[in-house]
Amino acid sequence: MNNITRKIEAKKNIALVAHDHKKQELLEWSEENKEMLKRHNLFATGTTGKIISETTGLNITAFKSGPLGGDQQLGATIVNFDLDMLVFFWDPLESQPHDPDVKALLRIATLYNIPCAMNKSTADFLFHSNLMDESYNISLNDHIEYTTRHIDLK
């Protein structure tokens, strides 16, 4: 495995996502951390972005709603190195119609080694870290073995 380094700048690109039963919790967390969030570029899935933006006044670039492809759009943003952090308050007690998309988003976030917060406690730890307002180098596997593997088509 070969590693490559990706630099996350001090001004980060942060995604805010929440399932319906967690939107209020993410909204309250966003209000509590509004001053911190203002210093970064914010992205969100459609409904979550609209609710947070309208309530807090934060400038948020909204993608489509999660079930309409927003989770996949965020995943593509991660793959293109345009997203640095993911705050995703997901509901562990309720099945979602787009569960495969959610799993894919979390897989891509893990594969690309971006910091993720899945609940308020983790988000608090991440956002109150001394690394939050500094640049940071992420180590990534270049996956050269995977992309150059031989596939025998018999």
Q: pLDDT averaged over consecutive 10-residue blocks of the chain (154 residues)?
A: 88 96 97 97 96 98 93 96 96 75 92 96 97 93 72 83
Intra-chain end-to-end CA distance of the chain, in Å: 28
3-class SS at 94? coil
128 assigned to a ligand binding site:
no
Give the per-residue pLDDT at 144: 65
User: Which residues constitute the domain of residue 15?
Assistant: 10-129+138-147
* Residue 46 host element (H or E): helix 46-56
Active-site residue set: 71
Q: How many domains does the structure of the chain reveal?
A: 1
70 assigned to a ligand binding site:
no
The verdict on residue 106 lying in a domain is: yes
The verdict on residue 5 lying in a domain is: no
The verdict on residue 1 lying in a domain is: no
47 assigned to a ligand binding site:
yes
CATH number of the domain that 120 lies in? Answer: 3.40.50.1380
What is the pairing mode between strands 13-18 and 85-89? parallel
The verdict on residue 153 lying in a domain is: no
115 φ, ψ (degrees, to nearest 5):
-60, 135
Whole-prediction pTM value?
Answer: 0.91
